[in-house]
Every structure is written in C-alpha cells, then in structure tokens.
Structure 1
C-alpha cells in the first residue's frame, strides 16, 4: 500500500514539475513574441511619426520635386474602406445569421459552409484578378474607386460570414430557449438576445476585415489603379482609386522624387498607426462594456 502511495505521489510531483516547465516555456515564448512585435512597431513608428506634418497628410503628391504629400491617397484609403464595409457588413453579417439560425442541416448547407471557409483562405490577388475581369474588362469602367471597394467587399464577405456564424453559434442554446419561453419570436430573440450576446465576436471580425482592407494593396493595384484624380476630397466613385499602401509600394519601387525614402518611412508609420487605431476603435466599446459590467458586479457584492 505504501509503495502505491509513494508511486502516486511521485507521479503527481512529476506532473507538477512538467506543468511548471511548460508554464515557463509558454511565458518565455509569449514575451519573446511581444518584444519582437513592439520592437518592429517602435522601429517603424519612430522613423516616420516624428517627421509627420499637416502638409504631408493633406498635401498633393509630387512627381519629381521633393516635399509632396499623400492627401488624395489617404482620402481614398478611408473612402474605399468605408464603401467596402457599407457593402460587405449587411451581407456578411446577414449571411452568418442565416447559416447559424435558419439554414437547415443538410448537405447543401455544409457545401455552402465549406465554400465560405475556402474563400476565406483565398489570396487577395485572386479576388483582385476577378475584380479586374469584372469591372475593368467586362464593364469597362477602368481603374475606379467603386471597383476597388466592391472587390474589397467580396474579400471581406467570407471572413465576416464565418466569424458571425461562429460567434452566434457560441451563444448557449439555453439563452434562446429562455427568450422563446417568455413569448419572444425567433426574430426578436435573434435581434435582442442572440446578437447582443455575440457582439464581441462580431466586432472582432469587423476589426479584422477593416484592418485587412485598409492595408490591402494587391486588389487596389489591379482594380483601383496606382494613382488618384489629383484632387483632394474627390468622392466621385469613378475616379481612380489609388490608396496609401499602393502609393507606398510605388514610392519604394518606381518613384522619381528626391525624398522617396522619407515618404516611404512616413507612409509606413502612418499606415501602421491607422491600422492600430482602427483596431482600438472597434474594441474600445467592448472594453467600456466590460468595465461597466465589472463595476456593477462589484457594487452588487
């Protein structure tokens, strides 16, 4: 009996040691990743942000002379992002709700889910080629803002649909049953109970697609073009749709301006800063909600 007790004690002690070692390994890996990420961010931001000026942000670009700005490219970046989200959010979230709540469990639905997952992993340049064939060649509208925004919306749709479906499916069934038992219809249950419970996952998906769309370059190159109309605040949907990532690529590869390297550094820093800001802006309401919920729990206790 004693030998069995000692054997069990040794096995428990060995398991504890393994847990401690794995904890240390995971901690070291996590810290290493964070250090690498923050070092990369520091290098990019420190080279560009101190040199940033209002003229650079809102001025017109120069072809040869130094001192040009990125105003039209920056405006196009936000404009195309807004248009793409305006198209993709209702369709993507609606499709996710349908697949999670209304679609029957049959082979056709499974085929649709498999297709959505496959499209989520397709490289963006494939969507860009599709957009080029549809908008530039078939409809013959050329390199335009509306073509780039529509193609970006197609890129966003599979990711939004899949993330929305998973977020809604993660809501416990008991929550739905309780709402239905109180007399709510299925639509009321989805709108007032299920969606608020799944909002954190849905907002995370919106953050992912917004940041990806803002930094996208392959689609813009093929469908939006590499330049702009040359006019600041040009919101015409048929204007050329060059964005900040495309301008960054152009400056680094083909530009003739004397300060190309400085423009590239400032554009890189601005691009990283805006992506971080978009991600923070989408997640900030969730943080506020969590703080309010935590505060209420403490007050109740």
Structure 2
C-alpha cells in the first residue's frame, strides 16, 4: 500500500506573514486533505541574525487564526545544523564545492572592472550578478593556506563540476506552472544560477542546501510554493542528484501582487495577516481572498 503524500509549508520567522504566505499555506493544506495526505509545518530559521522568537510566535498565531492545522512537532532548522553540515561534507568529498573568499565589495569591483555597456555581466534569475570564477581557479594549496590564516570564506557549489558529477539529465515534474507557463516535465538548468553559496560563516547552510536536505528527511512528496521559487528548483534538483535524495513533485502557484505589480513582501505591512485581522477582516474573508483564482 502506497504511503500518503506529504506536503509542507515552510516560512522564515524574519517578518510577519502576509497574504501571499496565506495562499501557499492554505493551498498546501487543501491539497493534502484532497489527497488524504499529511501536512507539515517547518520553521526555516537558518538566519539567526534576522529570525526571532517573536516572528515565530506570530506565524503560529496567524496560522491558527486561519484555522490551519499541522502535524507536531514542528521541524526548526536551527535545531538541525548537523544534518546540513553532513551534506556539505559529502559534497566536499565529491570535489563539487570550493571555498570562496571574495567580499561583497570585491565582487562589485571585479564586475565593474569587467562589465562594459555592450557586455553586461551575467545575472541569475533574481537579477543578482553571478559570482566571478576567481576563487574556483585557486589551487588546493592556496585554498588551504587562506583557510588556515583565518580568511573569511563561504562554500560555493561548483555548478560545472557538479553537473558533470551528476551525470544525468536533470528534470522535475511540474504540476503547476512556471512564470512563463512551464509545466509537465521541466528540464533543470542550474547553470543559470552560477556558483551558489551553500554555507557561510554566519549561516551554516543556505536556503538551497537546507531546504533540499529537509524535504528529504521529512519525506516531502509534494513541494507547493510560489512561482518566485520556480527557477530555484534547478539547484535543488542538482543537489538531490548529487546526494542521492528522492525527487518530490513540484507545484508552483501564482503570486499575489500589490498595486504596483510586484510580489508581496514582509516589509509591506498593509498586506500582513495581522494588519488585515486588526482592520476587521475575518479569517473566512482572508482565506477566500488568498485562494481567489486558484
């Protein structure tokens, strides 16, 4: 007998939930119920500097107000750094990660030096410049020397080497749609992200690494999230292939946008669930607004 599907909602407690979060949480809950599956809540609090207990308490309060129920206990990423460290060590042993030493200022200066009006430095899907390949060319001896000297560094995924090591065509099953209507069997293109960070001194694991490991550990079968994370799936598929992890089904839903056409952000308090509640809107009204059009 097949196991029931497992869905999850995974917010970060670095701000208040807004209407877009409500859409994702409610859709996950609805799909889990329709499929006779399980619904989990995960608190993605890797960023210890920005995530606070107050915001985490607010997440529980808002979800309970919306009458969203989840299985307990809740998985909190800050309690599982050892899992991410173990995954990173495996990737190091494969030779598909490297230490990067360039500061933000050095990156900006390097790009400014090499970018011209006719040749723009390549950007990732979020519009950020790709990381220069300067550190990737360092010898093993030079890397060890810099680390031994205490030089600040992060660990980045060598995407080119990783794709060669994966040695398979990376695809995923898309049950929703990407920003350009991509659906069905989608080919992953992790190279469009460049050499992404997997770990740094102030965060033991990046979003990409932690979410990939967590989904596997929790047995997530269906990842339902906003279209703003559609392209990130390419990196997750690459990491899944390298680490031998199961591949969930993916469903990227449309985003709720503000009057300016941009996606909602935690800094926009007018769309925060607490603000909507305090304005007099009922939970029923907010649920209907969040799921409108889905």
- TM-score normalized with structure 1 length: 0.23
Looking at CA atoms only, which structure, 1 or 2, has the larger radius of gyration?
A: 1
